[in-house]
Amino acid sequence: RGGGLRIDHVMGLFRLFWIPHGLPPAEGAFVRYPADELLAIVALESQRAGATVVGEDLGTVEEGVRERLAAAGILSYRVAWFEERPPVEYPELAMAAVTTHDLPTISGLWTGADVAEQVRLGLVDSDRALDSTRARLVQLAGRPDTADVNEVVEAVHARLAEAPSLLVTATLDDALAVLERPNVPGTTSERPNWSLALPLPLEALEQAPLPRRIASVLAERRA
């Protein structure tokens, strides 16, 4: 039995952009889905499973979608890299996170390793491409550029823990100060997406210093 379910691209419960086979994208159109019925099924199955449901509502979200998700009891997904507001102003009916599998880790962003990889892969043409995201990291961390990356990771999660959101999460990649994202959109064989090993075996996680500090700060701030 799972305690939760995250629906990727939850806007797909409402509409999808269809492109007929063999035709260019300009010939495509949005197709409406029976959202009320689909939301009712999600609600029923979540009750049967005793599971919390999170809807990944990032990117372009049609007007009214978040309100309908909230009415159905589906948590929004608030990611610090995208939020202009501080965590303390996040909504209660949400899951708060620093990053996702497709976005930079804290360590990768702080050290510049992430944007360096983006340049190497030809996805961006400047090492300044992530400046706005890094500025958000600096604001969250409240630490000087000379700060140790482990200190920054801990500070960011301390800020995230101020969110009133029902769920606050940390990734294993951030907890272990991993530099690489698990996945880089727009790449296939250029890098080992979804195949990067963690620097420690799972059995060693509970004793590793940084994961223990993150767990402690989340527990203290959320108590």
Residue matched to tokens 């604001």? 139
Q: What is the pLDDT of residue 1?
A: 59
Give the C-alpha separation, 67 to 80, whole Å: 21
Whether the predicted pLDDT of 72 surpasses 70: yes
- Cβ neighbors of 26 (< 8 A, separation 6 or more) are none
Confidence class for position 206, pLDDT limits 50, 70, 90: confident
Whether the predicted pLDDT of 2 surpasses 70: no
The closest alpha carbon to 169, from 62, 44, 77, 70, belongs to 77
pTM (two decimals)? 0.91
Whether the predicted pLDDT of 20 surpasses 80: yes
- Cβ neighbors of 108 (< 8 A, separation 6 or more) are 114, 117, 178, 179, 180, 181
* Domain spans in the chain, listed from the N-terminal domain onward: 75-222
The closest alpha carbon to 79, from 50, 44, 109, 52, belongs to 109
User: Which H or E element spans position 167?
Assistant: strand 167-168
